[in-house]
Amino acid sequence: MSDYYGNQPQDVRPGIDARRLWAGGVATAVVAALLAVVGLLVARGIFEVEVLAPKGEGVWGNASTTTYALVAAAVALLATGLMHLLSVATPAPSQFFGWIMVLVTLIAVVLPLTLTVAPSAKIATAAINLVIGLVIAAVVNSMAASARTLHRRRTQQSAAPPPTRQYPQQQPPPTRYYDQ
């Protein structure tokens, strides 16, 4: 059945532009890695807290700084994959993603507080994890919203063509006196 203008009905379903989503995910991974490095530099350089490095390793620390940055980038890519999965499989992907990211971030904040290291290192690591988790959640959620699309599929047409409206034939208006 068609509408007033003869258009066929369409099946409209939400979708996601995977290229835009994953391009944003890679950019988010870079941001997360740099944020981890900045967090460690601030903790070690400004506050002189030994986060992920023994004393005497300097502001940059040892290989753990690179590992921490790579793990932050990997978490951002995992969050992008999670958002992609939720976007194609669940009715409210942003809500589920938000809850999952809050809980994962909460785990990342609480876990360092259970370690047997100096209290300042516990608090610094928890703070860095909190900032990284919140940034990843916010950026992935907002760029996924911008990557959402609507996929339109035409429904099957009925066997009979849609009815057309018949208008009465009118004679053209007279152009000269003797046409009347």
Express each pLDDT in 56-66 by its tens digit.
565 556 668 99
DSSP label of 53: S
Q: What is the DSSP string of 79-115?
A: HHHHHHHHHHH-S-HHHHHHHHHHHHHHHHHHHHHTS
What pLDDT is attached to residue 153?
Answer: 64
Model confidence at 156: pLDDT above 90: no
Instruction: Give CA–CA dist 22/31, Å, rounded.
Output: 14
Per-residue pLDDT reduced to its tens digit, 19-41? 999 999 999 999 999 999 999 99
DSSP label of 56: T
Write down the domain spans for the chain: 14-154
Asked if 31 and 139 touch (Cβ cutoff 8 Å), the reply is yes
Per-residue pLDDT reduced to its tens digit, 82-125? 999 999 999 999 999 999 999 999 999 999 999 998 999 999 99
CA dihedral 17, 23, 24, 28 (to 10 degrees): 150
